[in-house]
Structure 1
Amino acid sequence: MHSADHNHSVLSLHLRDEAATAEFARRLAPLLAPGIVVWLDGDLGSGKTTLVRAMLRACGHTGPVKSPTFALVEIYVISRIYWYHFDFYRFKFPEEFLDAGLGEYFRDDAVCLVEWPQKAAGYLPPPDLVVSLHFAEKGRRIEVSAASTEGRECLKALTSREPPGAG
């Protein structure tokens, strides 16, 4: 599932506002195939959950999308694909990933979106994509890095057309 390759590709964009973030999510979401793992990096309040919410909406989810900070994982099933949204912010030790039995969620029929992946370092499966969000100017700077063959294919498809709403 995850091909080892150290030749990373990176896309970097400025997102002016929440609408631009949602537009980016609408472009990214359909490219995330089952089996893909996305690490979401960024400071508190940088827009990680906002991005996930917009991706789920883009895939047709109409119910609530809440931060999994206390539950550790929120589960969505959209068009027979499992979407698992994790948040490890509250982990004190990486071993809590094992104690909570979260490894079983990382399957070939699921898209896994992981906030605060560094808090489960050493136990979390490797990413296909790393999405970093940072405060910049009046909006956010988003960087998408490919960390596997699957991730590079996704990034290639993402960059194959001009991004609307980014600047």
Structure 2
Amino acid sequence: MIEKNFFLADEAEMLALARRLANVVSESATTPEQALTFYLFGELGAGKTTFSRGFIQVLGHQGNVKSPTYTLVESYELDPWQIHHFDLYRLADPEELEFMGIRDYLDTNTIILAEWPQRGAGVLPEPDMTIVIEYADTSRSLTFGALTTRGRELLDKL
């Protein structure tokens, strides 16, 4: 795994980094058929949804990006991508994803942003990249880990 670390002083810097990643995804997408999966790790309130909001809005979503804590997933149709933002914090068993029809969310032109992915282990697709968000006093430290060739290509450009 290849890693890159970032120190972010505030929410504005978090959103800016999320936007940079979204722009890299958008610019380097040779075809939308390349599905991507990002796992977001961090404690409650660390900034996983904030990061997701910045990412989703750059790819074309107008309006609010709400946390899928209670719905488990919020989907966004953004040409050419379908983005599915999962928050699995309340998931009791990974098999619940099968009952909700997770296979319907996995397509070739899909980007998965999964918060609390460890709760969907064995059912979620393997990640191209992990993003670990940690508290650093009032700031945040982010560690990006590339796990696939596609993830490494994106990380190199970030």
Q: Shift of residue 101 of structure 1?
A: 1.1
What is the match of residue 161 of structure 1?
Answer: none
In structure 1, list runs of 5 or more residues that go unmatched: 1-7, 159-167
Shift of 1:77: 1.5
Deviations 1:82-106 (CA, angstroms, capped at 9, x unpaired): 1110111111111111111113212
Q: Give yes or no for contact 1:89–1:119 (8 Å, CA) kept in 2.
A: yes
Taking every aligned residue pair, what percent have the same amino acid on both sides?
Answer: 41
1:113 is aligned to 2:106: no
Q: With structure 1 as the length reference, what TM-score do the two structures score?
A: 0.86
Work out the CA distance in 1 between the residues paired with 2:82 and 2:131.
Answer: 20
Question: 1:113-132 counterparts in 2 under 5 A?
Answer: 113-132=113-132
1:21 aligned residue: 14
Structure 2, unaligned runs of 5 or more: none
Does the residue aligned with 2:123 lie in a helix, a strand or coil?
coil
Q: What are the within-5 Å matches in structure 2 for residues 62-141 of structure 1?
A: 62-141=62-141
What TM-score results when the alignment is normalised by the length of structure 2?
Answer: 0.91
Match for residue 162 of structure 1? none
Higher relative contact order (CA 8 A, sep 6+): 1
Q: Deviations over 1:37-92 (max 9, x none)?
A: 00011000000000011111222311221001111110111223111101111111
Return the alpha-carbon distance in structure 1 between the equivalents of residues 79 and 99 of structure 2. Answer: 30
Corresponding residue number in structure 1 for 2:5: 12
Aligned length: 151
Give the partner amino acid of 2:58.
Answer: A
Distance 2:46 2:105 in 1: 25
- Alpha-carbon RMSD across the aligned residues, in angstroms, is 1.1
Task: Describe the SS at the equivalent of 2:94.
Answer: coil
Contact 1:47 1:133 in 2 (8 A): yes
Distance 1:31 1:105 in 2: 23
Write the distance in 2 (CA, Å) between the matches of 1:12 and 1:75: 29
